[in-house]
Amino acid sequence: MFLISDLCELLDKYLEKEQVAEVYRAYVFGAEAHEGQRRVSGEPYIYHPIAVARILADMHMDSPTIVAAILHDVIEDTATAKDQLISEFGEEVAELVDGVSKLTQVEFESKAEEQAENFRKMLLAMAKDIRVVIIKLADRLHNMRTLGVMRPDKRRRIAHETLEIHAPIANRLGMNTIRLELEDLGFTALYPTRYRVIDEGVKKARGNRKEIVKKIETAIKRRMRQEELTGQILGRQKHLYSIYKKMRDKKLPFSEVFDVYAFRIVVDKPDSCYRVLGVMHNLYKPVPGKFKDYIAIPKANGYQSLHTVLFGPFGVHIEVQIRTEEMNKVAEAGIAAHWLYKGGEEGSRSPQQRAREWLRELLEMQKGAGDSLEFLENVKVDLFPDEVYVFSPKGNIMEMPRGATAVDFAYAVHTDVGDSCVAAKIDRRLSPLRTELLNGQTVEIITAPGAKPNPSWLNFVVTAKARANIRHYLKNLRYDEAIALGRRLLDKSLGEFTLSLDKIDPVRLDKLLEEYHMESLGELLEDIGLGNRLSLLVARTLAPEQEGETEQELTGTSRPLAIRGTEGMLVNFAKCCRPIPGDPILGFVSTGRGIVVHTEYCKNVAEYKNLPEKWIDVQWEDNIDHEFPVDLRVEVANRRGVLATVAATIADMDANIENVEIKERDGLSSTLRFTVDVKDRNHLADIMRNVKHLDMVVRINRMRG
């Protein structure tokens, strides 16, 4: 059992006497606050905060962090208020404790929502003070070490959360030692059988490998002595969770994943790293494409090292990492290296600086996120980067996750550049915005004033920043469109009472908004536009009572709502019947989606006959300059080049083919299904007439669902 006396003895080695006394005072305060509380294991609760403080003391964290670690659960689990902590231990400690505390007073609809909101709160506190997340990771590490006493279902849930969120955060902040332990503990708890099988396999394989490892190590030492280079050579152990992930992701058997010999060479200075690399490439042949220089271009979390893979003796592969002592410290401790080694770098690209930049991006991202669940999903995307390094036209290096596209790059440069990008030049050649970026490419973004984000970008962007900004724009667009459509619908319904929105008595309108518990007219119009509230009922409430009018008289006199076809998100055209200008149409008000437009002869119309209040009369506007998809079925005789001939005929009629399917009926004939963009019924009739005149076409007809 680790006691407060052991903690104070450890702290005496690097803290002032007064600071150690302050830690002891915090212990007394915490022990009194947690009096009578016990952990699931049965031990007094205060043992947990002391153990968390011990983990942080091993990192040489400062005294406010150690004090906050001992008190980290008093706001959440006891009657202690934040104000009391401020008066006892000061603002700094109280803010750290509050940042780590969960939101216990708020009711959530689901466990996922609660987890997401607590996560958002922690990240916002992190942005103010990075020590919040270091305390949180130490807290989670001790909880994982003592997870065995929990119920199996709770154990699995906590382990899953750790592997999904906490271990990636530790990795993102460069805290490799904590990440490895969190992953191993999480893996053990979540998949105990898989862990045991891989662990046994590793132990068995390791016994058979000793001779080869010794032979390789001796060869490396001998060659380094010849070149008068000194350094520490370590046989690197494969981490069990990384073996499992590699087997799962690449679908490899254990023998292939573990058939790699890993070494780490630690030298005195960066220049020696490159000299050792030359020695290794002379000793064994390098595997092409497997060399990575993370010294010249560090990873996003500040990690620096040279990586190479070599063809070793007996046909085995050798993975080698070459780094300096300082790089090794940062690789293990990440942002905590600043406290652990007081000489830790504080340069512009130190792990601390990189962490702050990441947190700034998170703050910007959370402003555009609709809710905590969406924010958490965005952050998860950002927590699993496999970096690609590309250059801006001025030669600046940009780190992007693997799979990132030109749009992701544009948003990484600046939100405004992303919002207004229209094209990209990759290595001076024009490329589509969805092009995936590769290492070493130079990317230039072309913007245009007035250009806006495209909803289809969400199908291929991979960075959280790009996704959050596009969604934010679309939400605002949806809001504006909903208000505009709501105004048109309400004006149409008021027209049945010979009124318009401009003529409504403001007092009557305010009274209605108060009755609906709404703050503004915009909120009411948005609700109508989204289909959450029927415009006719609102109009009836707003209109002065008129005697002698029946419902039929009220609903039978108004003009249909004109549809342009370009309303975007809130006027949707049903895919079952694909209406086009010229078709007789009906509108159906759908909750949350606005208006769904069907043709009058659509078979799905019958389903809605019992809901007359949801129907709205609509008509096409004159002079629509827009194209609409329509499905055509063409039965043809089997001949060489028949598809090309039919497609060319359609294209000659100034129609774009979106999709085509071929279904062979028998040896003599086939059915072609086209989705074609047309302007209206006349355009469609011209296309069908020209295709029908082809001698290989047996029949053509429009598909109606």
Reported as type and span, the H/E element at residue 587 is strand 585-590
- The 3-class secondary structure across 425-466, one letter per residue, is EECCEEECCCCECCCCCEEEEEECCCCCCCHHHHHCCCCHHH
State residue 103's pLDDT score: 44
Closest CA to 188 of 159, 162, 152: 159
Please tell me the distance from the alpha carbon of residue 674 to that of residue 688, in angstroms, as a whole number.
12
* Residue at 303: amino acid letter: Y
Q: 593-596 long-range contacts, Cβ below 8 Å, gap at least 24?
A: 593/530, 593/531, 594/481, 594/482, 594/485, 594/529, 594/530, 594/531, 594/567, 594/569, 594/570, 595/485, 595/531, 595/561, 595/570, 595/571, 596/572
Indicate the helix (H) or strand (E) that contains 333: helix 325-333
The class level of CATH for 4-190 reads mainly alpha
The C-alpha angle 558, 562, 563, rounded to 5 degrees, equals: 145
pLDDT given for residue 552 in this prediction: 42
Q: What is the pLDDT of residues 612-636, one digit of tens each?
A: 777 878 888 888 888 899 999 999 9
Stretches in the chain below the pLDDT threshold 70: 1-2, 102-127, 207-208, 258-259, 336-386, 545-559, 566-569, 592, 609, 665, 705
Domain 628-702, architecture per CATH: 2-Layer Sandwich (3.30)
What are the distances in angstroms from CA 40 to CA 44, 103, 135, 187? Answer: 10, 21, 21, 21
Residue 478's Cβ-count burial label (10 Å; 0-12, 13-18, 19+) is middle
Which amino acid would we find at residue 502? Answer: D
How many angstroms separate the CA atoms of 501 and 484, rounded?
13
Spell out the domain ranges in the chain. Answer: 4-190, 196-340, 385-462, 472-616, 628-702
Active-site residue, 631 included: no
Q: Is 374 a catalytic residue?
A: no
| Whether domain 196-340 has CATH 3.10.400.10 | no
Q: What is the pLDDT of residues 306-335, one digit of tens each?
A: 999 998 887 788 899 999 988 888 888 777
Report pTM.
Answer: 0.60
In sequence order, what are the residues at sequence separation of 6 or more whose Cβ sits closer than 8 angstroms to the Cβ of residue 196?
A: none
Is 628-702 the same fold as 4-190? no
Q: Which fold is adopted by the domain 385-462?
A: Ubiquitin-like (UB roll) (3.10.20)
Q: Which of 76, 88, 129, 332 is catalytic?
A: 76
Q: Are 55 and 139 in contact (CB under 8 A)?
A: no
What's the pLDDT score for residue 177?
87
Q: Give the Å distances, CA to CA, from 691 to 100, 384, 631, 669.
A: 69, 51, 14, 16
How far, in Å, are 93, 98, 202, 352, 380 from residue 129 at the CA level? 11, 11, 41, 11, 21
CB atoms under 10 Å from CB of 577, counted, come to 24
Q: Residue 146, CB half-sphere, CA atoms under 13 Å: how many? A: 17
Residues in CB range of 507: below 8 A, 6 or more apart:
none
Q: Decide: 285 and 311 in contact? Cβ < 8 Å.
A: yes
Query: How far is residue 264's CA from residue 321's CA, in Å, rounded to a whole number?
Result: 5
Q: Which of 62, 77, 164, 680 is catalytic?
A: 77
| b/e code 533-555 from CB counts within 10 Å (16+ = b) | bbbbebbbebbeeeeeeeeeebe
